[in-house]
Amino acid sequence: MIRIDGSDGGGQLLRTALALSVVTGEAFEMTSIRASRPTPGLKPQHLACVSVAEAVSEASVEGAKEGSSKLRFSPTTVRSEPIHVDVGTAGSTTLVCETVLPVAVALDDPLELTVTGGTDVRWSPPVDYLRYVKRPLCSAFGVEFDLDVRRRGFYPAGGGRVVMTIHPADPTGLAFDSARDPISALDCYSVASESLRSGNVAHRQIEGVKNALAETDVEVPLMSSATYAESTSSGTVVVLVARAGESVVGFNAYGEKGMPAERVGAQAVGQFRDWAASDVPLDRYMADQLLVWVALAGGGISVPVVTNHVRTNIDVIRAFGFDVRLRERATGAVVERVE
């Protein structure tokens, strides 16, 4: 059984371990889970990830309870029967989807996953990031999935629902380890709950994006859409998507009580402006998410910033027997699988 110390990382270490355990069939034990976090141990969102991994691999699991600092996970056979999981309140549905996506390399038939919870909540990718950034990016290296957003779920009530269909895949090596191509397209997806329609919030967020872009030297036309969605809790989100060659990059901002809608849009542009000033082909959050795919498919990616988060994630990947190396540069690094 593979032993993993989870004290120096967060939920990403657990999600990576679960994904690789399901794909390789190797059991693992993780201790001191999220020990460095203000509220350590497993939370409902992490337990939902465990539940999905358990269902898809018919695993034997010990320690899967809220607050637990230790988990043992022993998978058996990957199966393709439909899976339903409720994260609870506004726990992130997108992080659950991210956990199970790598099972594509072990599937014989498509797998349908239905997740109920938060679709657009802080500290996790918005569902439109998953749909408009990660989906086309994964398609570039041979991994296909469909995503149907049935209902939006904002903090604190959640109640959103997404259906992800993962198709069997034989991915090619990733090729995001060189300087990026010029920016060729910009799309803005602005969403607000129906309760905020009277304030024209979704449209005002787009105006904030346009005004902030006017202050940059980027001259690519902006395509935008404003949506008002039925939801239990009020909430807003902006996702700005840039395309540069084969790369797709995303930046997002969430609305807050008392924050002008225009400022929400400007925040997303601020993240975009920082990325556009660099030569890396990926945003920092997607770079983290693709580390597991470097292990499974080969090739390499550029990591804009070498954080402790990146290093500990690579340690987990190596624990499962994948030869992945980190080549640091003047800024950032390249992560690649050694063939």
Which residues participate in catalysis according to the annotation? 309
Place of tokens 């390789």: 24
Token pair recorded at residue 56: 């898809």
| Number of C-beta neighbours around residue 61 at 10 A | 15
Angle (CA) 34-37-40 rounded to 5° is 55
Outline where DSSP puts E strands in the chain: 2-5, 28-31, 60-62, 71-74, 83-86, 111-117, 145-151, 160-166, 174-176, 185-193, 222-229, 236-244, 247-254, 299-303, 324-328, 333-337
Contact in structure between 115 and 91 (CB atoms under 8 Å): no
SS3 330: coil
* Secondary structure of 56-68 in HEC code, one letter for each residue: HHCCEEECCCCCC
| Number of C-beta neighbours around residue 245 at 10 A | 15
Place of tokens 């198709």: 167
Sheet holding 145-151, edge to edge: 83-86, 111-117, 160-166, 145-151
CA distance 320 to 78: 18
Angle (CA) 44-46-47 rounded to 5° is 60
Place of tokens 């993240």: 271
| Number of C-beta neighbours around residue 278 at 10 A | 14
